[in-house]
Amino acid sequence: MNSYKAIYENEIIKSCEFMCQIGKEDKCLTCDDNKCSSCNIGYKLIDGKCKANYTIKATYHTNEDKVYIYVINLYVYDIDEMIVNGESVFPNNYLYFPLSGNHSIYFKLKNKTYTSFNHLFGGNQYLDSVLFSDELNTDNLTDMGSMFSGCSSLTSIDLTKINTKNVQNMNSLFEGCYSLTSIDLSNFSFNNIKYTYNMFYNCSLLKSIDLHNIYRINGTEMRYMFGECKSLISIDLSNFSAENQVTMTYMFSNCFSLR
């Protein structure tokens, strides 16, 4: 009987964990009566499911003994709470990692509506991945310039929660992200975009980019948009009209593999 009960309880836990983890943001830690009873760090319990309790999650990886990094380019007063490696810390823009390895940071922002993410993570060479939650309202976002510029270690970005319908500036958005092998922009709207120069500049490991959702850009600058994308094999621009463009100089500069 005890053995059966143990197996039964184990199956309940597995069922609950599956139920609570099938979504990208649902992370159940323990279960009770086939519901989540506690959640992992960065999540909160709502109606038996673990929902994100953060605005932005960032992970960093370092191979050095001590690293001093600029974690996010927002003012300190915009940050309501920071959880670093499982511990709540006083909100600040700078963190000093005393140990090498992987580090997870959850940001809960006070202001959940932003108009500009210019240089948000720009220059964070140790940044490994970024995840945005439903807590973030980007309906009025207009500027994404250099948002990930220089994030040379970045391997994963989930931008499905970012609303780009009003974004005008994507200059240097992924410039220098030469560890990225893929970018999903299927949810992006380019209806109001004006500036895309250097957008993918030096994304040297990208092999394909699907931009079929670009129809017409009303701006003036697309210089070096795909410059130095030396591994790029294909770009889907099947619906793109360049009739309003002024500058497309070196748009595909040194894209040696492009067919």
Question: Is residue 128 in some structural domain?
Answer: yes
Residues 141 and 204 in one domain: yes
Does residue 215 register a pLDDT over 50? yes
Whole-prediction pTM: 0.83
- Asked, for residue 44, whether it belongs to a domain, the answer is yes
Residue 32 belongs to a domain? yes
* pLDDT winner (highest mean) among 179-188, 214-223, 239-248: 179-188
Q: Give dist(CA 49, CA 157) in Å, integer.
A: 24
Residue 142 has a CB neighbour count (10 Å cut-off) of 18
Q: Are residues 21 and 81 in the same domain?
A: no
Based on the fold, state whether residues 123 and 210 are members of the same structural domain: yes
Query: Which pLDDT value is given to residue 171?
Result: 95
pLDDT reading at 198 higher than 50: yes
Tell whether 247 is covered by a domain. Answer: no
| Residues 206, 80 within the same domain | yes
Residues 15 and 83 in one domain: no
pLDDT of amino acid 3: 45
123 inside domain: yes
- Predicted pLDDT of residue 96: 72
Q: Is residue 249 in some structural domain?
A: no
- Tell me, yes or no, whether 257 lies in a domain: no
**4 pLDDT tier (thresholds 50, 70, 90):** very low
Judge if 132 and 203 occupy the same domain.
Answer: yes
User: Do residue 87 and residue 191 come from a single domain?
Assistant: yes
Tally the domains of the chain: 2
197 and 105 both lie in a single domain: yes
For every residue of 1-20, DSSP letters joined together read: -HHHHHHHHHHHHHHHHHHH
| pLDDT at residue 219, as a whole number | 65
Of 34, 52, 70, the one marking the end of a domain is 52
Whether residue 241 lies inside any domain: the answer is no
Domain region containing 35 = 1-52
Do 224 and 101 belong to one domain? yes
Tens digit of each residue's pLDDT (9 = 90 or more) over 9-44: 455 455 555 555 544 445 778 777 667 788 888 888
State phi, psi for 3 to the nearest 5 degrees.
-65, -45
Please indicate, yes or no, whether residues 13 and 116 belong to a single structural domain of this protein.
Answer: no
**pLDDT tens per residue across span 99-127:** 678 888 999 988 778 899 999 999 888 89
Is 5 found in the same domain as 101? no
Whether residue 67 is found in the same domain as residue 159: yes
The CA distances from residue 125 to 31, 96, 153, 224, in Å, are 38, 14, 6, 22
Domain end call among 15, 30, 52: 52
Domain end position, chosen among 17, 32, 52 = 52
Asked if 31 contacts 50 with a C-beta cutoff of 8 angstroms, the reply is no
DSSP characters for 44-65?
EEETTEEEE--SEEEEEEE-SS
Please write the tens of the pLDDT for every residue from 64-91. Answer: 776 677 778 888 778 888 898 888 888 8
Q: Does 5 score more than 60 pLDDT?
A: no
